[in-house]
Structure 1
Amino acid sequence: MPVKKILKEHETSMKKCVEYLHNEFKGVRTGRASTGLVDNIKVEYYGSMTPINQMANVNAPDATNILIKPFDPSSLKNIEKAIKASDVGLNPIAENGAIRISVPPLSEERREKIADQVKQMGEAQKIAIRNVRRDANKKLDDDEKNKVISEDDRDHAKKEVDQMTKKYTEEIEEHTKAKIEEVMTV
């Protein structure tokens, strides 16, 4: 396998780690109403589990409320039940064909716990990126051993893999710090 293909393949994997973390952070509660809090909640709808954002308009009209207006009014009770059953810890109120969720402010203790969870999420993705680096280096070593690439090409590619690892690890650290700051801001 040519060096460029190995590098591109593993860089794509590193990008996916960053994207995954970004999507995970959308569901982290910050004390401000965000539609991301309910995006990952799935609702039993005609026999299949459907994300709320595919069956309703979800918006945050202000900093303390989330408003969910189902496309199909008969799904209102199922959406309400799914939100109550989720681990988000919010209390939905059905009214006038919509669901209103009031997002209460977070206590300092709860903010610290959420910040710790954010750190753990970031660390898990940094580990995933290091695993991608390990796999790329192993592939490069195998290709050099099998005489597919030269030793110089392998060494040069390993340096590029290390640079990619550093770049995406720093990106994850930036996202994590920003999310922690967002959580800790009152």
Structure 2
Amino acid sequence: MAEHELIIRLDTQLDANEARFIKKLTTLRTRLSPRQFFKITITHNGSLLLLRLVASIQAVDSSRILIQPFDPTLLNAIDEAVRASGLELVSSKSEGSLQVSIPPLSDERRKELSNKLVVLTDQHRTKVRFIAAKGRKGIVELLNDGSITKAQHDTLHVKVDVSQARSIAGIDAQARKVAGLT
């Protein structure tokens, strides 16, 4: 039973690492999604308000977002908040709405994004190897305390290797998908 729990814990940690990687890929901003605007706050009458609670946020296409405030007087505050968000987007106001887009990628910006992708991918691949190493250590501890046999030990090592390879392949597939967009 302990070996089963170890593999479940290992796979859960690897899946969580891959999910964090996918979430961090959105910071590379090769596409826009309304979710990228969910944590932006605006200041209105001295109060901080979440953008998503005071405006409709819709994807026009993969590189443009349309923000329509429920109260048109918030348009300037929303524009300021988007510009201050650090997302490095271009915005333009028209007819009570704000259109936000990704600026065209220069060669320099494309190289910068590519380098960030490499670093991010390497960090998460390293985390996969660390998680797998912890799993292997746990297997040895189970063997040493007599909880599993040598045959179970060998089988579990293979399962850890397969889980590690699956997780790294998933990270690499996501990175290739983003690399095609930069």
TM-score above 0.5, yes or no: yes
Cα pair 1:18 1:168 within 8 Å, conserved:
yes
1:173 aligned partner, one-letter code: D
Q: How many residues align?
A: 180
1:43 aligned partner, one-letter code: T
Alignment RMSD: 2.6
2:151 aligned partner, one-letter code: D
In the alignment, what sits opposite 1:118? 117
Cα pair 1:45 1:75 within 8 Å, conserved:
no
2:22 aligned partner, one-letter code: H
Deviations 1:18-38 (A, max 9, x none): 1121222233222xx522683
Matches of 1:21 and 1:49, distance apart in 2: 28
* Distance change (3 Å), C-alpha of 1:145 and 1:78: farther
75-84 vs 136-145, which moves further: 75-84
1:35 aligned partner, one-letter code: S
Three-state SS of the structure 1 residue aligned to 2:28 is: coil
* Distance change (3 Å), C-alpha of 1:63 and 1:172: closer
Indicate which of 37, 40, 43 corresponds to 1:42.
40
Cα pair 2:10 2:131 within 8 Å, conserved:
yes
In the alignment, what sits opposite 2:13? 13
Matches of 2:86 and 2:25, distance apart in 1: 15
Cα pair 1:39 1:53 within 8 Å, conserved:
yes
12-21 vs 33-42, which moves further: 33-42
Q: TM-score, normalised by structure 2?
A: 0.83
Structure 1: unaligned runs, 5 residues or longer: none
* Distance change (3 Å), C-alpha of 1:133 and 1:90: same
Deviations 1:30-54 (A, max 9, x none): 2xx522683464315786674x456
In the alignment, what sits opposite 1:24? 24
Matches of 2:160 and 2:62, distance apart in 1: 42
Matches of 1:38 and 1:26, distance apart in 2: 8
Cα pair 1:27 1:36 within 8 Å, conserved:
no
2:3 is aligned with 1:3: yes
Matches of 1:23 and 1:115, distance apart in 2: 17
The CA deviation at 1:97 is 3.4
1:109 aligned partner, one-letter code: E
Structure 2: unaligned runs, 5 residues or longer: none
In the alignment, what sits opposite 1:143? 142
In the alignment, what sits opposite 2:100? 101
In the alignment, what sits opposite 1:79? 78
The CA deviation at 1:74 is 5.8
Q: TM-score, normalised by structure 1?
A: 0.81
* Distance change (3 Å), C-alpha of 1:172 and 1:53: farther
